[in-house]
């Protein structure tokens, strides 16, 4: 009898093993501003292989929304700021947007859209009040459109905000309050979100504290640093993330929203484009963050950790670099879904690379050995290449920052050549360049080969994968039933 019960327990554990996926409350941002994006079906498989059960999209990308259909992954769907004015102008506009981008994908593809994120950091000081009058009306109109579509309970609205919407006059978290110029607006919006049963979404970037201030204490940006604590009454803060988050919590408490749910919409660390954006620091920060999530560790003011969306999944070589060259390098994976650095996701699980990615030919465009560095056309040729391709890995403190002048030009030529799909005429820079079959990568500097978008080997269809899983589970269930029957008669 005891042996039978042991077998029953063992099989039951085997049945559950396949259902335990990822770290609870951990999501990731999937940006799509790439010249050569990984096909959406491969990205969805990448998400599932790495246990991400939540994803945030910045726009209603049809390929992404279709691929996420019936994947089991919860989606926060973003609306870019440029749509705020039209959405604020009319409920009908909001209804059309919801019908096309929410109802359509839920009903036709089974996409699990749980939030619509109206705008993205619209109250940033750098926008100089451009979206101040349209964000809240757009939020209310989208909410009304969701209710009219019968999705009011299933899909919630929110607005991802930058941490600059709150501040503290005492330099301590306990002094937190909403920014004085938008305080009334913020209180109205938070009340609306609270009444709607939604959550407040905040983006927190310790990296930017370091980027903006060279004198910022570096260890304070990380979770496992040896920084001098900031003492706030009975609380000692040892990292900027906790202090920043609790400043928000103080602001909520001060204005009557002590129990308001908060989601961290973006948090992470870039790996290139700045001296402090490197793989060592990114691994240190993200692993420290993951360790906290795995342990269920929150902040001094809120012991339970919020849902967190890492920023980001994959590097985006076509993203704007207005904030800095690091903007194209936030991914925990390179542009093609290959792993940048190891991360422990808990239970002995590490990152899993994308499967089924196909590449262009193994060839690179480099500066010709016969070309002269004093050629008067060289500077203009490099500038031209970097105008139309991503050269943010070049420069002081970057992954390719130690290249000599010839290799520097080669990197620029190759990025242009790859971006233009290795067209033969894309490696003609005034007789300064040539094509080589020898990989010119050196040290930390990767000379990329782009994804071949035309001949992709897609992963198995979801239905096939599910069939395998279903057959396995059905077999285990049959065995369990058989054992239970056996136990009954023993």
Identify whether 253 is a catalytic site residue. no
* Helix pair angle (462-489, 2-17), 10° resolution: 170
- CA separation for the pair 351, 374 (Å, rounded): 45
CA atoms within 13 A on the CB side of 450: 22
- CA separation for the pair 224, 358 (Å, rounded): 39
- Quick check: 490 pLDDT over 90? no
Of 17, 74, 95, 121, catalytic:
121
**Rounded to whole angstroms, what are the CA distances from 305 to 82, 99, 117, 137, 214?**
32, 34, 21, 31, 30
Q: What is the pTM of this model?
A: 0.88
Give the Cβ contact number of residue 279 at 10 Å: 16
Model pLDDT, residue 285: 98
- The confidence band for 13, taking pLDDT boundaries of 50, 70 and 90, is very low
* Across 226-230, 290-294, 319-323, 439-443, least confident range: 226-230
Identify whether 17 is a catalytic site residue. no
- Quick check: 288 pLDDT over 80? yes
- CA separation for the pair 291, 274 (Å, rounded): 26
Of 266, 316, 327, 448, catalytic:
266
Supply the mean pLDDT for the chain: 90
Across the range 441-457, mean pLDDT stands at 90
- The confidence band for 224, taking pLDDT boundaries of 50, 70 and 90, is confident
């Amino acid at each position: 009898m005891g042996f039978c019960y042991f077998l029953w327990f063992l099989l039951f554990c085997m049945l559950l093993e396949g259902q335990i996926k990822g770290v609870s409350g951990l999501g990731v941002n999937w940006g799509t501003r790439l010249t050569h994006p990984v096909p959406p079906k491969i990205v969805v498989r990448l998400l599932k292989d790495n246990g991400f059960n939540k994803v945030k999209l910045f726009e209603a990308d049809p390929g992404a929304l279709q691929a996420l259909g019936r994947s089991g992954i919860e989606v926060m769907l973003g609306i870019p700021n440029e749509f705020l004015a039209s959405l604020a102008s009319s409920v009908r506009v909001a209804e059309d947007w919801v019908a096309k981008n929410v109802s359509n994908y839920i009903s036709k593809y089974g996409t699990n859209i749980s939030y619509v994120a109206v705008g993205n950091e619209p109250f940033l000081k750098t926008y100089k009040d451009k979206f101040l009058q349209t964000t809240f009306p757009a939020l209310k109109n989208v909410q009304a459109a969701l209710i009219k579509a019968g999705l009011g309970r299933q899909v919630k609205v929110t607005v991802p905000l930058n941490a600059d919407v709150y501040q503290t006059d005492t330099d301590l978290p306990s002094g937190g309050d909403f920014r004085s110029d938008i305080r009334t607006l913020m209180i109205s919006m938070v009340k609306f979100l609270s009444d709607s049963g939604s959550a407040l979404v905040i983006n927190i970037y310790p990296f930017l504290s370091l980027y903006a201030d060279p004198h910022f204490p570096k260890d304070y940006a990380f979770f496992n640093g040896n920084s001098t604590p900031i003492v706030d009454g009975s609380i000692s803060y040892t990292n900027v993330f906790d202090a920043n988050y609790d400043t928000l919590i103080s602001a909520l408490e001060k204005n009557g929203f002590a129990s308001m749910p908060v989601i961290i919409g973006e948090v992470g660390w870039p790996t290139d484009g700045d001296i402090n954006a490197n793989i060592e620091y990114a691994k240190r920060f993200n692993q420290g963050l993951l360790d906290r999530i795995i342990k269920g560790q929150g902040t001094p003011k809120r012991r339970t950790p919020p849902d967190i969306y890492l920023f980001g999944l994959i590097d985006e070589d076509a993203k704007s670099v207005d904030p800095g060259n690091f903007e194209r390098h936030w991914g925990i994976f390179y542009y093609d879904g290959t792993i940048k650095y190891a991360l422990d996701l808990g239970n002995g699980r590490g990152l899993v690379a994308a499967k089924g990615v196909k590449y262009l030919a193994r060839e690179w465009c480099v500066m010709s050995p016969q070309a002269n560095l004093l050629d008067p056309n060289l500077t203009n040729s490099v500038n031209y290449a970097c105008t139309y391709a991503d050269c943010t890995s070049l420069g002081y403190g970057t992954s390719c920052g130690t290249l000599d002048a010839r290799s520097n030009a080669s990197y620029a030529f190759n990025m242009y050549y790859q971006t233009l799909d290795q067209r033969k005429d894309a490696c003609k820079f005034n007789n300064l360049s040539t094509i080589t079959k020898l990989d010119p990568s050196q040290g930390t500097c990767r000379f990329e080969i782009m994804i071949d978008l035309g001949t992709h080997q897609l992963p198995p269809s979801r239905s096939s994968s599910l069939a395998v899983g279903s057959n396995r589970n059905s077999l285990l269930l049959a065995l369990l039933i058989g054992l239970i029957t056996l136990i009954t008669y023993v």
